[in-house]
């Protein structure tokens, strides 16, 4: 009877094997410097400074809201992690250009009838791929193009989160302003009801006037309640966009008043062409096409011969030594048409990536078209609602004065108050829709960043 025990280990080492062993033992964890292929932290590709904690009890402006969103939104962390993972895959592909070295050692004890013997052996072997008909090059190109795609996808994610933060900020402010307007409308309705009730009590008003005023007050109260509910919802959406729990509602600082200008009017065809050069999602789609092309080359090369240099050194008990150096050729003869169908699958994947790139290209043109005309509409809407609120305010003053003087009807006054309340709501929403439209156009062009944001927030 007998028994044996053994252990074995292997590693893939960079060029200058012994120098790299020293560097690895000193703590160098990235011999191919793949960390240079991705950003240092989530959001860093757009952020102007490292992430900072939200100041306690401070009102956040738009820039701070966007910064916190880029730092803390899970989408930015996911995109960053995907980029880091692909950067490591680039390192794996580069490692194929280096030799593989295996070391082994074995200690044996065997026993028989009245005798026991021990044996020790150790060995070192290496293998280096000399030529594989372009397989390594194609695999590295594939990994690098996927890295480019994920980097561009990270940029697209950051711009998407950036725009979501802008939208959530302005929607929250619009909802808060709508609550203020609803409170003002409710106050005016209360005054109208008091006037109608007083006139009814002294006999100069009718029960119908009083009931109409009471109904208008109830409607104003309902509108205020609904506005408050929407404001709470929008604040929760903003907190979520910033990477917070919905109940961790931040305080907000409203932007300065701004008057829309027509300086954005440009040639829409030129804008679409520019967007197709800058949109990161289209850049990512094009990189995916190049990666699919490289994958076809890699799959084809996998079915071709490979030439390697191999060698080894082995020791046995006593003076026995063994060493070898040679060249080996691996020639695949038949694999059940495995390579044939892998190539077909890779070619089909290329067709899919081409179609996806074209789809993204068409979507870019549509995004720019929509955003451009949304901005035009928003600009004109702000101007129109500014005039509307001025005339509605004057009309409400006249109607209220006529009713209090006893020469106007309750219906005339209530209609004027309703029109004023509607004008206020429309003006508030138009103001913030215009600001969102400016950011949406920048994002559609692939140009949304803090410099662009600073230009947009200026009056």
Of the listed ranges 241-245, 299-303, 392-396, 411-415, the least confidently predicted one is: 411-415
Cβ neighbours of 276 (radius 10 Å): 17
Average pLDDT, the chain: 86
**Distance from C-alpha of 50 to C-alpha of 69, rounded to nearest angstrom:** 13
> What pLDDT score does 411 carry?
86
Q: Rounded to an integer, what distance in angstroms lies between the CA atom of residue 187 and that of residue 194?
A: 11
Rounded to an integer, the average pLDDT of 193-211 is 86
- The 3-class SS string of the chain reads CEEEEEEEEEEECCCCHHHHHHHHHCCCCCCCCHHHHCCCCCCCCCCCCCCCCCCCCCEECHHHHHHHHHHHCHHHHHHHHHHHHHHHHHHHHHHCCCCEEEEEEEEEEEECCCCEEEEEEEEEEEEEEEECCCHHHHHHHHHHHHHHHHHHHHHHHHHHHHHHHHHHHHHHHHHHHHHHHHHHHHHHHHHHHHHHHHHHHHCCCCHHHHHHHHHHHHHHHHHHHHHHHHHHHHHHHHHHHCCCCCCCCCEECCCCCCCCCCCCCCCHHHHHHHHHHHCHHHHHHHHHHHHHHHHHHHHHHHCCCEEEEEEEEEECCCCCEEEEEEEEEECCCCCCCHHHHHHHHHHHHHHHHHHHHHHHHHHHHHHHHHHHHHHHHHHHHHHHHHHHHHHHHHHHHHHHHHHHCCCCCHHHHHHHHHHHHHHHHHHHHHHHHHHHHHHHHHHHCCCCCHHHHHHHHCC
pLDDT at 322: 74
Q: From CA 414, how far away is CA 399, in angstroms rounded? A: 8
- Residues in contact with 78: Cβ distance below 8 Å, sequence separation at least 6, in sequence order: 157
Using DSSP bridges, classify how beta strands 251-252 and 59-60 pair: parallel, antiparallel or unpaired: parallel
Residue 456's pLDDT band (cuts 50, 70, 90):
low
Pairing mode, strands 116-131 and 251-252: unpaired
Q: 313 or 34: which carries more pLDDT confidence?
A: 34
Confidence of residue 316 (pLDDT cuts 50, 70, 90): low
Sign of the CA dihedral with 413 first, then 417, 420, and 422 last = negative
pLDDT score for 52: 82
When pLDDT is averaged across residues 74-93 and rounded to a whole number, the result is 95
Per cent of the chain over pLDDT 90 is 59
User: Please, are residues 396 and 388 in contact by the beta-carbon 8 Å criterion?
Assistant: no
**pLDDT, tens digit, 9 for 90 and up, residues 208-229:** 888 988 999 999 999 999 999 9
* Residue whose token pair is 């929509």: 370
C-beta separation of 395 from 416 below 8 A: yes
* Contact call for residues 350 and 416 (beta carbons, < 8 A): no
What's the pLDDT band for 238 if we cut at 50, 70, 90? very high
**pLDDT at residue number 146:** 96
Looking at residue 18, what is its pLDDT? 43
Tens-digit pLDDT profile for residues 389-446: 999 999 999 998 888 888 888 888 888 988 998 899 899 999 999 999 999 999 999 9
Tens of pLDDT along 140-175? 999 999 999 999 999 999 999 999 999 999 999 999
**pLDDT surpassing 50 at residue 4:** no
Q: What is the pLDDT of residues 95-114, one digit of tens each?
A: 999 999 988 888 777 766 66
Q: Could you state, in order of their start, the residue ranges of all structural domains in the chain?
A: 63-102+132-303+338-457
**Domain 63-102+132-303+338-457 top-level CATH class:** mainly alpha
pTM of the prediction? 0.84
pLDDT surpassing 80 at residue 56: no
Please report the pLDDT score of residue 203 as a whole number: 82
Q: Which tokens in the block code for residue 230?
A: 């929407």
**Given this model, what pLDDT does residue 19 score?**
43
Rounded Cα distance between 203 and 409, Å, is: 15
How many C-beta neighbours within 10 Å does residue 236 have? Answer: 18
User: What pLDDT digit, counting tens, does each position of 109-129 carry?
Assistant: 776 666 777 777 888 888 999
Averaged pLDDT for residues 29-52: 88
**pLDDT band at 20; cut points 50, 70, 90:** very low
CA distance 452 to 455: 5
Task: Please check the confidence at residue 22 and state whether its pLDDT lies above 80.
Answer: no
Is 203 or 331 the better-scoring residue by pLDDT? 331
């Amino acid at each position: 009877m007998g028994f044996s025990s053994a252990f074995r280990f292997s590693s893939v080492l960079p060029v200058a094997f012994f120098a790299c062993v020293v560097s690895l033992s000193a703590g160098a964890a990235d011999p191919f410097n793949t960390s240079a292929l991705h950003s240092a932290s989530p959001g860093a590709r757009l952020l102007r400074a490292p992430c900072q904690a939200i100041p306690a009890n401070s009102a956040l402006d738009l820039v701070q809201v966007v910064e916190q969103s880029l730092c803390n939104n899970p989408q930015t962390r996911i995109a960053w992690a995907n980029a880091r993972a692909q950067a490591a895959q680039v390192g794996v592909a580069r490692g194929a250009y280096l030799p593989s070295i295996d070391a082994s050692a074995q200690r044996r004890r065997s026993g028989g009838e009245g005798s026991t013997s021990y044996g020790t052996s150790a060995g070192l072997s290496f293998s280096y791929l000399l030529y594989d008909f372009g397989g390594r090059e194609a695999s590295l190109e594939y990994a690098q193009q996927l890295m480019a795609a994920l980097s561009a996808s990270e940029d697209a994610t950051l711009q998407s989160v950036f725009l979501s933060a802008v939208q959530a900020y302005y929607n929250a402010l619009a909802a808060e302003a709508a609550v203020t307007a609803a409170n003002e409308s409710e106050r005016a309705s209360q005054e109208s009801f008091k006037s109608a009730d007083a006139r009814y009590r002294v006999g100069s008003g009718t029960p119908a006037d009083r009931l109409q005023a009471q109904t208008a007050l109830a409607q104003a109260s309902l509108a205020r309640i609904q506005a408050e509910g929407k404001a709470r919802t929008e604040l929760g959406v903003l907190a979520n966009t910033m990477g917070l729990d919905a109940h961790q509602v931040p305080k907000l600082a409203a932007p300065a008043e701004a008057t829309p200008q027509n300086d954005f009017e440009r040639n829409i065809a030129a804008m679409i062409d520019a967007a197709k050069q800058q949109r990161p999602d289209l850049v990512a789609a094009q990189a995916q096409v190049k990666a699919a092309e490289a994958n076809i080359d890699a799959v084809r090369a996998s079915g071709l011969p490979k030439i390697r240099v191999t060698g080894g050194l082995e020791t046995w008990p006593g003076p026995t030594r063994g060493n070898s150096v040679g060249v080996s050729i691996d020639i695949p003869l038949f694999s059940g048409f495995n390579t044939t169908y892998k190539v077909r699958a890779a070619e089909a994947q290329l067709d899919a990536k081409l179609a996806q790139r074209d789809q993204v290209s068409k979507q870019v043109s549509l995004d720019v078209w929509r955003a451009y005309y949304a901005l035009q509409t928003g600009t004109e809407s702000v101007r129109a609602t500014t005039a509307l609120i001025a005339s509605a305010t004057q009309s409400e003053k006249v109607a209220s004065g006529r009713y209090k003087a006893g020469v106007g009807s309750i219906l005339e006054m209530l209609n004027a108050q309703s029109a004023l309340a509607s004008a206020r709501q429309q003006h508030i929403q138009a103001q913030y829709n215009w600001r969102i439209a400016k950011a949406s156009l920048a994002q559609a062009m692939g140009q949304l960043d803090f410099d662009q944001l600073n230009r947009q927030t200026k009056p």
